[in-house]
Structure 1
Amino acid sequence: MKKEIKIAVALSGGVDSATTAALLKEEGYFVAGFFMQNWSTPIDQRGFCPAVADVATARMVANQLKIPFYVLDFEEDYYKKVVKPFLEDYKKGLTPNPDVLCNKFIKFGRFLETTQKLGFKKIATGHYALIKEKDDIFHLYRGIDKSKDQSYFLWTLTQKELKFTLFPIGGFYKKEVRAMAKKRGLVNADRKDSQGICFIGPIEVSQFLQRFLPKENGPVRDENGKILGYHQGIWFYTIGQREGLGISGTSEPLYVAYKDISTNSLYVVPRNHPWLFAKEFKVRDVSFVQTVPKEALRVEVVIRYHSQPHPALLSLKNGEFFLTLDEPAWAVTEGQSAVFYNKDELIGGGVIDRVLRTRK
């Protein structure tokens, strides 16, 4: 009976997780809500910390649904597994994705492990993605609502996690989820979606970095090495960035194409410059939803959230994975995720490690 199956729902305070809990309870499952306390430090000078409002809203939702509610303190793990690597990668000139780390180590790591020890059979989250089981094999797909699809951030999930995971709203559009929440009178039915860094809140990445990494001025150079201006710290910029470069008076917009850590220099070029395009790159920390392919595999690779997929060949050379795109892609960025798809099915992914592009 469903009543005997205990499901731990990750309640974030948002409408997606609240609707997830409501739907599962209506289906007859024993549901409990859990709020993951991962960050409690104020994110601005006013002392504002979004976690205070988030946990209060999550508790109200649980009370409204008449389900048990618990707060799990994962702050230490979150700092060690997400924030610290995030900052270390930026120091190296990379552009990491904290949401991927958060999913791997916190939501589908500590949360899953902790709730299993408490006797829960499955966890459920408000992710816009789909899990389908066939012949005891779990498949992961993009959510129905492509504008909200979050599968890009879930490429580290394997059979180990998927067999214990539910994504109840993955088959709905966002407007349908809000409508379901309003129909049920959920207190957060009209609450705005969270923005910013995973579990930290509505703060720009550059603002967050400035709290932990020092400003270190350096030259902004053109392709010939001419100094056009000065930046505030090489780790505050990413490949393809145009804004905030500290330069003006150029004949056309310029974009970051190369970060030289050894000289603390940013190199900027026009948008269609060859330095900004790449066709081949190495990926590390590769993970597959099912099994590791034994031969080269045709995939569609997504190199940044909500970007168009690129047809590519995934190959293994001397124990390392490489992606060769059919056509060059713009601003392939080391540290970001490269996620492999077969149409709407997520095959796996990895971290862009070394881009083979033309430059000085």
Structure 2
Amino acid sequence: MRFNKSIISISYMLLFFQISISILGTNNYIVSIPYLKYYFDIIVLFATISCILSFFSQTIAVKELVFIVLWLVVSAITLVTTKDILVVTNALMIISARKFSIKKTVQTVFFANLFSLTTTLILFILGFVSDNNNGTVNKHSFGLSHPNQLGAVLMVLILCSAYLFIHASKNIKFILVILNIFYLLLLNSSGSRGAILASLLMFFVLILFYTKPNYLYSICLLIGVFFFCFSLYSTSTSVYASGSILNKLDTVLTNRVRMNNVFMTNYGIKIFGQQVLYTGGSSIMYHADYAYLDNGYLRNLINFGISYSLLFYIYLISVIRKVNSLNLYSAYIIIIPMLVYGFVEEGFTSFLTNIVLLFTSILFISNEKERE
């Protein structure tokens, strides 16, 4: 038993480093650091080690074996067609998380993001990293790669702290409240609409958790289905019709919605995905100054294909259902805002931001205490 706990502890440590490297490795350093271009290679390496370690902690049931094989096979084929290592990295971490405790996972993610944000802000104050305002005066990154990256980090901190708040002592709750005031002020400075919306929604979910927790399951499913279907609808040409709902939404989201139509028109949806060209600058191919698919739901479908997306969304639905059956309602405080976040941010597709992808253990236990 002690050996098993030691192995899992190593996996938590690797997760901490993966998240920290993903943030600190992409900061806007004043002086170029050549080795930082290998930051994602390190993340993949740690994911591989974590996955291997998960096979030593306990015996593997037939159900787990089928789960593992499905993720490995589908992600491997998708990697071949898309040349995007993210799909395999996600699969490795989803498999690794079979042995994780939800509470300890959230704690690890929280402290990794807190450490990375604090370090970046110190570097910013000292002048080692520069601000990125994305060409506007109302957005700031304070040393991170992009204002939306700052928004993503703060959103994860806010969601995790809300989850931890429920399970914390009075003294810790007070500290978390103070931290959240600071997070919200910084979040407003980032101007990240998706992160702001998800974070504000969290407070509504938190109220429901204390008043009507039985409603959270239905709300979660409804929100997930709605944003998936609405994402598909957003690819229609009505986005160009003046006065239409999509056209108005496109204006609010600074042309992000019309990009859904552009990418669907240019690429369509394949079974095992495809390579997709993204550019932050002017593009003749897309007839736009900005060509990036921010919608996480559509990025899965268009970039990674039907097979991977089907596995991805079945996984999410299974987690949502199991959370309800185990009465782990506090998990919805993270899940529901993340489903909304996926409509406007591609961070939804990665375990580094979408930590619901690390809730795998819920699928293989009858009680969360089994993973404590």
TM above 0.5, yes or no, is no
TM-score normalized with structure 1 length? 0.25
Say which one has the larger Rg.
1
